[in-house]
Amino acid sequence: MEPIFDKDGYPTQETLDAIEKWPIATFADVKELFVYIEKAWKYHDWGWHAAKRRTREPWKGAPLRRKLQISTGGWSGNEDLISALQRNFVAWNLSWMSTRRGGHYVFEVREK
């Protein structure tokens, strides 16, 4: 599934609805949702940073996680993508770490 954009390059309501209603049954579904959002993200080259290294909690058997640092750049299309993600209660609560003023978000997505 690929995101759809209008003639001005903004994500369509169909794309936003897909994010909001993305079915989350496993952590792999959250990872796939972020792959989808990344494809829709404008100004990706400076506003989307995935950590090169995966991290693990200090206890044995903890899942590997990758930190994503995302900035909207003030572009309303990216802010719409974040709003749609916030409305996906399960995905947001499984991945959101922090928010800073100015449209900066940090997420951790389980790798395996």
Let me know if residue 95 belongs to a domain. yes
**Model confidence pLDDT, tens digit, residues 90-108:** 999 999 999 999 899 999 9
Structural domain range at position 104 = 27-51+61-110
Q: How many angstroms separate the CA atoms of 87 and 33, rounded? A: 13
Let me know if residue 21 belongs to a domain. no
Let me know if residue 4 belongs to a domain. no
pLDDT at 25: 92
Cβ-proximal residues to 46 (8 Å cutoff; 6+ apart), any chain: 71, 73
**Model confidence pLDDT, tens digit, residues 49-64:** 887 666 666 556 667 7
Say which residue the tokens 């609560």 belong to.
93
By C-alpha distance, which of 75, 54, 72, 50 is closest to 63? Answer: 54
The total number of structural domains that make up the chain: 1
Let me know if residue 8 belongs to a domain. no
Let me know if residue 34 belongs to a domain. yes
Q: With 0.85 as the threshold, say if the pTM is over it.
A: yes
Let me know if residue 20 belongs to a domain. no
Q: How many angstroms separate the CA atoms of 110 and 29, rounded? A: 10
